[in-house]
Amino acid sequence: MIVFVVLFVLVLFYNLFLYNFLFSNNLVVTKVVFENLQNDLERIGFPFNAELNIYHISILSSFTIMLLLKFFFIKNISTKEPLKIIVDFSKLFFIYAGSLFSILYILRLYSLSRGILIIFILLFPIVFYPLIATMKKIENLKSKKGWLYITVLFTTLIITFNLYSKNNIVFSISSFETTTSTSTTTTEPQFDIKTSDYCYEWLGSNNHKGCITGAKVINIKQYSDSLNNVVIFNNEIYILDVYGKIIREKDESVFLDISERVKNRIDEGGSEAGLFGLAFHPSEEYFLVSFSNTQSELIVEKYFLDNSGQPITDTREIIFGSPGPGGRHYSGNLIWSNYFNDFLLSVGDMISDYSVYFNTTTSKGKILFLNSYSTNSYLVSNKDGQIPRSDIFGFGLRNPWKTYEYKENLFIPDIGENTQEELNIVSLEDFSKQNSSLVFGWPFFEASLDQNFNAEKIKLYKNNIEYDVKTYVEEVQFKPSVYYNHEGPENFRAAIIGGAVIDDPLSDYYENYIFTDYLSNELFAYDFKNNKLFTIPLPNLNTFFTSLAIHPTLKDTVLITSGNGELIQIQLP
């Protein structure tokens, strides 16, 4: 028993070193992993409110490894026969590698340094074979020599790890927390940010043509604990924080504060709640905002403006509401469409059942017109005799964040589930000729991937005749122009963050759609007219990106909001 406990502690220290090395090489992926684990435990009603950290993960890994060592190795270790020693080394290698990869898979850690993993896996049998053999020899711990050996070993490990931890982050949720103030006071970075010239491999649609290096981070300002969106109107920049404040960038004043009615992901935890969208009517004096309220509903409110351009808060009116008990996939993106002369609202599936969001009588999983524009839709539902909505631009979407209109094209990024992200580009001329709602693929397709989804709960109804929905989707599905995989050989891409088109004819990026990813520290420039896509690498900013816009006055400059509450300005190469 004592041998088991001693070896457990040794394996625990070994794993602490491993995970610290792994996590320090990709802080953003680490942040998301810890948050996802914490949220998963909260959703299943885990009875303890402990903050997850590196020790929990190391203990889980170490206990798993020690159980396998106890039953398959320690009792039968050989120190004399060369062939058996080789077999024992192999056992240690496979026990550690198998346990480690199983834990990493369960925790969804797919984008960590393979070099570090290989080194620690190869070192494990070299380090632990002699340790286990020695432990067996001094199993009688009544001897002073045995106790001395153990004491020296533990003291060395503790001192070494403490010295290491003083200069390195011992990762936990709080390793990534910012201050709790919601002040709009901005701060400049206290460090020099360099460019990055390293391009990661592209795994996705075949229109990717290469890499453009030399992008520069030229400014960072802190506006809040966390930002959700940046919106441009009449060359002014509006910054939306997660709590419910809209900040006017030019004078850093609060344009609107509805935080008392907004549920946010920072205070709630385990959700994607917050203030989402802002859109102004181009000629009438009013605007719309979207947010999740304290009942987890997606809400759109309308406000009129006074003569000075300030909101008249007493005029607020709710013009749309949709319950979102899942607390995720709200979307809530709002834009004004010059083509349709109407507002467009993106609504995510809200983690509802497919019979709800792939249903043309509901608002979920769709892009909707908010004023008066009307379209035709077939009835897709769980029963005949219902009336489909007449305000649907498109349905079959999972979480379409940052929809954007440019001339006669609508750009619709849709955040995928486990495997792929997608960008759809719709010709509005083609749409208006048919004037019927578009059908995107989710949940039957995730970007280019057939999910083999069986939709028994709903049917398509035409003229009182019942049809199979999957067959209908395969026939009419709108296919994405760009898609990419999450997993890459060297990095991890997680969620497409839609952007905007550069409309300056003097720019090298004229009519390129610029977008980014939630995690990967990259921009992408898509020449959609010539179907050419390029990656623009960025330095590691140790945050996650939530929205993107083109700076209204600075040439070839991109604005990105971060989950750490920063507005980041990037000069394209």
Cα–Cα distance for residue pair 129/91, rounded to 1 Å? 10
Instruction: Sheet with 496-501: list strands edge to edge.
Output: 208-211, 532-537, 522-527, 512-517, 496-501
Cα–Cα distance for residue pair 534/210, rounded to 1 Å? 5
pLDDT tens-digit profile of 116-128? 888 888 998 888 8
pLDDT tens-digit profile of 136-163? 666 554 555 555 666 666 566 555 655 5
Cα–Cα distance for residue pair 473/477, rounded to 1 Å? 5
Q: What share of the chain has pLDDT > 70, as a percent?
A: 81
Q: Which structure tokens are listed for 316?
A: 């607020």
Cα–Cα distance for residue pair 210/203, rounded to 1 Å? 12
**Of the candidate ranges 60-69, 274-283, 310-319, 517-526, the one whose mean pLDDT is the lowest:** 60-69
Read off the pTM. 0.73
Structural domains of the chain, ranges and CATH numbers in brackets: 2-175 (no CATH), 178-571 (2.120.10.30)
DSSP designation for 488: -
> What phi and psi values does residue 376 have, to the nearest 5 degrees?
-105, 140
How much is the average pLDDT of 447-451? 93
Check pLDDT > 60 for residue 49: no
Check pLDDT > 90 for residue 357: yes
Per-residue model confidence (pLDDT) at position 161: 54
Per-residue model confidence (pLDDT) at position 188: 46
pLDDT tens-digit profile of 239-258? 999 999 999 999 999 999 99
Dihedral sign (CA 560, 562, 567, 568)? negative
Contact status, residue 480 vs residue 104, Cβ threshold 8 Å: no
Q: Which helix (H) or strand (E) holds 391?
A: none
pLDDT tens-digit profile of 489-507? 778 899 999 999 999 999 9
pLDDT tens-digit profile of 2-37? 667 777 888 888 888 888 777 765 555 565 566 656
pLDDT confidence of 64, banded at 50, 70, 90?
A: confident
How much is the average pLDDT of 423-435? 96
pLDDT tens-digit profile of 376-412? 999 999 999 899 999 999 999 999 999 999 999 999 9
More confident residue, 483 or 488: 483
Strands (E) located in 92-175: none
Contact status, residue 460 vs residue 437, Cβ threshold 8 Å: no
Task: Give ∠ CA 223-331-395 in degrees, rounded to 5.
Answer: 160
Q: Which structure tokens are listed for 374?
A: 């009307």
Cα–Cα distance for residue pair 131/74, rounded to 1 Å? 11
The DSSP annotation for 163-228 comes to HHHHTS---BGGGG---S---------SS--------PPP-B-TTEEEE----EEEEEEE-SS-EE
The residues pairing with 302 across neighbouring beta strands, listed in sequence order, are 288, 317
Contact status, residue 428 vs residue 339, Cβ threshold 8 Å: yes
